């Protein structure tokens, strides 16, 4: 999915679809919950967009198939990566080592990035190849590389679809938030703690999205605006919300004691001691 632009000194991450999905899901998942050191949305956003797995720095260490998931054939690594990051994050967030803990934030953000990629219809098509041009290890018929050097993914159907979704997300955020609030009312919102169960769930969600045929509709130039706003985004945000809930519950960070708890207890004890005990005569 579209992950924002980045230049050397600034980036336009705020426009990224990854971020906007994360933000809506995060708000619903942990609205009134104490964070207890769980990464905040700003930290997650920072590492899931341009400075995350889609950034240039990340290219040498991740393959194209790492961002893809074909739910019809269960190939491509996006969903497996989301679960691997989930496992790493749960461990690191609980570490006593400060650096490890920080790395836990990064693992959460990476997991969210791969999850959103794995739910994106344009990432559901194609298969793995061993010898692709320029090291690409995934064949996507709507993202095949022409011979010219001026090739750019944003002019291919794959990129065009993501651009369209990003545009709808940006222009109709309010509407999408509203349709999601309604959508989740009838949904099971429990955390899924077992990683295999969570993997099954996110893969099933990808298949469900694939089965709607929204990408085929787009490819045959039909209008998909209504579906993107009312079906695709709510389904994606829902999956991300469950993932965040699971991550939060599974990492089970220790409750931080209330800052003033001891002070309040002491004052209460002192006051109690000072109150004279009054004996009330019992009337006969």
Q: How far apart are CA 3 and CA 233, in angstroms?
A: 15
Q: Minimum CB separation from Zn ion for residue 235, in Å?
A: 19
Instruction: Find all residues with CB under 8 Å of 32, minimum gap 6, and list them.
Output: none
Residue 75: what are its φ and ψ, rounded to 5°? -125, 170
Instruction: Find all residues with CB under 8 Å of 173, minimum gap 6, and list them.
Output: 20
13 forms part of the interface with Zn ion (CB under 5 A): no
Of 39 and 118, which CB lies nearer to Zn ion in the complex structure? 118
Contact 44, 138 (CB under 8 A): no
Of 67 and 124, which CB lies nearer to Zn ion in the complex structure? 67
Q: Minimum CB separation from Zn ion for residue 225, in Å?
A: 24
**Residues in 102-161 at the binding interface with Zn ion, rule: CB under 5 A:** 117
Q: Minimum CB separation from Zn ion for residue 53, in Å?
A: 5
Of 50 and 233, which CB lies nearer to Zn ion in the complex structure? 50
Q: Minimum CB separation from Zn ion for residue 68, in Å?
A: 9
Question: How many CB atoms sit inside 10 A of residue 105's CB?
Answer: 20
66 forms part of the interface with Zn ion (CB under 5 A): no
**Residues in 34-63 at the binding interface with Zn ion, rule: CB under 5 A:** 54
Question: How many CB atoms sit inside 10 A of residue 219's CB?
Answer: 16
Helix or strand (DSSP H, E) at 144: none
67 forms part of the interface with Zn ion (CB under 5 A): yes
Of 54 and 235, which CB lies nearer to Zn ion in the complex structure? 54
Structure tokens at 239: 């999956």
Contacts with Zn ion by CB under 5 A lie at 54, 67, 117
């Amino acid at each position: 999915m579209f992950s924002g632009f980045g230049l050397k000194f600034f980036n336009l991450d705020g426009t990224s679809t990854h971020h906007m999905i994360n933000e809506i899901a995060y708000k619903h998942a942990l609205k009134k919950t104490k964070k207890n050191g769980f990464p905040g949305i700003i930290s997650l956003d920072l590492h899931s967009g341009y400075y995350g797995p889609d950034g240039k720095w990340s290219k040498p260490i991740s393959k194209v198939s790492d961002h893809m998931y074909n739910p019809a054939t269960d190939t491509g690594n996006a969903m497996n990566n989301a679960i691997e990051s989930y496992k790493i994050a749960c461990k690191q967030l609980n570490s006593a080592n400060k650096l490890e803990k920080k790395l836990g934030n990064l693992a959460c953000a990476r997991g969210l990035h791969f999850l959103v990629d794995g739910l994106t219809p344009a990432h559901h098509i194609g298969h793995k190849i061993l010898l692709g041009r320029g090291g690409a290890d995934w064949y996507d018929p709507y993202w095949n590389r022409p011979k010219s050097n001026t090739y750019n993914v944003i002019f291919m159907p794959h990129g065009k679809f993501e651009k369209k979704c990003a545009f709808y997300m940006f222009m109709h955020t309010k509407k999408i938030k509203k349709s999601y609030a309604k959508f989740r009312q009838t949904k099971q919102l429990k955390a899924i703690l077992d990683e295999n169960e969570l993997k099954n769930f996110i893969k099933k969600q990808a298949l469900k999205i694939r089965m709607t045929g929204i990408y085929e509709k787009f490819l045959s130039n039909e209008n998909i605006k209504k579906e993107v706003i009312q079906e695709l985004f709510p389904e994606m945000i829902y999956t991300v919300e469950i993932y965040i809930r699971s991550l939060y519950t599974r990492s089970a960070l220790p409750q931080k004691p209330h800052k003033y708890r001891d002070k309040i207890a002491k004052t209460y004890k002192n006051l109690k001691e000072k109150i004279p005990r009054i004996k009330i005569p019992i009337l006969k």
